[in-house]
Amino acid sequence: MQCNFKETMDKKTIENQINELRDFLNRCNYDYYVKNSPKISDYEFDIKLKELEKLEKENPEFFDSNSPTQRVGSDENQEFKQVKHKYSMLSLANTYSEGEIRDFDARIRKLLPEGEEFEYACELKFDGTSISLTYENGLLIRALTRGDGQKGDDVTNNVRTIKSVPLKLYGEGFPKEFEIRGEILMPHSSFEKLNQERTEIGEPLLANCRNAAAGALKTQNSAVAAKRGLDCYLYYLLMDNLPTDSHFENMKIARSWGFKVSENTVKAKNIDEIIAFINYWDKERYNLPYDIDGIVIKVDKISLRDTLGYTAKTPRWAIAYKFKAEEAAVKLLSIDYQVGRTGIITPVANLEPAHLGGTIVKRATLHN
């Protein structure tokens, strides 16, 4: 059997060209959606993307599910498989007052050896839907919802469409396999656009960004998920041998690998610094481009978490402070009756515009 040396070399050149384009476009997505610092124009990006699409179409043997071209999703409906979590995905205990935060701190100090020094990591509590991402050899291989904490739905195809989720990692030092968890959310701008589209086609309006994000993540058509403008912040690194004994430092390292990690996380030395952080964000949250519904407080030192342990449902080393639900009195201007595609009639209130939860509310579905 003869081997066509020239053809082999040509294929190798094409493969290198495809890989270079993928790396370039992945980096552009990272600069734009994670660092918020684009290096090229949208037009230049689109030209490069079309070039890659053409090469991949002509050379299907080089298909890669983590290619930037796959972020548009597929029109095929796919059912979700249930997959067991490697590490249980527990929820956090909630608290609603300064007194309960102080009680939490007192419990921590009681459980630890007397005189043990430690700090807390204080994070924004994103109001979205939890996600667990698994990477192998720097590539995204699986995305699972929380589910029942032991098993979750495999929503990898939908998560691949979220442009702030790295399909391929950057930097150095990331392990062969690890898990990272975070929150998928819908920014206010995406939510307003989606409700405007629903208004135009006579569909009921969505109640809030959290429900909209959850619905988009669980749609069985990833092409639909790709159009929803979802975002993803990561806040918890899991592996057998973590880079450091500090949660705060580990997340800084994760950021260097290409993950979108909030810049608003701080370390607190004592309970008064935690309270100050809570009070600041209780007011400042309305200036964020997405919803938060509280603050998460975690013991920063990883080795102490084993000492503190878990209850049946929650870790003892972390707690979530929930802000009071926001309310506003608004003037009802009129009511429209929308007919959806299935023929169901839904009354919709037209309201005097009110600023609520970071968005301007002008219309609301009257379900009851």
CB atoms within 10 A of CB 59: 14
Say which range, 13-22, 131-140, 315-324, has the weakest mean pLDDT. 13-22
Range 249-274 average pLDDT:
97
CA distance 67 to 64: 5
Same domain, yes or no, for 248 and 134? Answer: yes
314 lies in a domain? yes
173 lies in a domain? yes
Mean pLDDT of the chain: 89
77 lies in a domain? no
Burial of 172 (0-12, 13-18, 19+ CB in 10 A): exposed
Same domain, yes or no, for 36 and 182? Answer: no
Res 301: pLDDT: 97
The pLDDT of residue 235 is above 60: yes
- Active site (annotated) includes residue 11: no
Same domain, yes or no, for 296 and 341? Answer: no
Same domain, yes or no, for 93 and 30? Answer: no
352 lies in a domain? yes
Contacts of 363 (CB under 8 A, 6+ apart): 195, 199, 205, 348, 349, 350, 351
Range of the domain at 58: 5-71
Residues 164 and 140 sit within 8 Å (Cβ to Cβ): no
Tokens representing residue 278 in the block: 């809570």
Range 252-260 average pLDDT:
96
195 lies in a domain? yes
327 lies in a domain? no
Which residue is listed with tokens 């701008």?
A: 189
Same domain, yes or no, for 133 and 254? Answer: yes
Same domain, yes or no, for 262 and 179? Answer: yes
Same domain, yes or no, for 255 and 300? Answer: yes
Among candidate residues 125, 163, 168, 298, the one labeled active-site is: 125
Q: Greater confidence, 3 or 282? A: 282
Confidence of residue 75 (pLDDT cuts 50, 70, 90): low
Residue environment code for 304-317, b if the CB has 16+ CB neighbours within 10 A, otherwise e: bbeebeeeeeebbb
Same domain, yes or no, for 91 and 146? Answer: yes
76 lies in a domain? no
CA distance 110 to 166: 41
Same domain, yes or no, for 281 and 341? Answer: no
Same domain, yes or no, for 39 and 152? Answer: no
The pLDDT of residue 353 is above 80: no
Distance of CA 95 to the CA centre of its chain: 23
Same domain, yes or no, for 170 and 246? Answer: yes
Same domain, yes or no, for 237 and 279? Answer: yes
Query: pLDDT digits over 2-37, tens only?
Result: 455 456 658 888 999 999 999 999 889 888 888 778
Among 300, 341, 337, 336, which Cα is nearest to 318's? 300
CATH number at residue 185: 3.30.470.30
Quote the number of domains for the chain: 3
Instruction: For 243, list phi and psi in degrees, rounded to 5.
Output: -60, -40
CATH number at residue 25: 1.10.287.610
Confidence of residue 341 (pLDDT cuts 50, 70, 90): low
Which residue is listed with tokens 């037209």?
A: 350
Q: Greater confidence, 347 or 277? A: 277
Contacts of 339 (CB under 8 A, 6+ apart): 202, 345
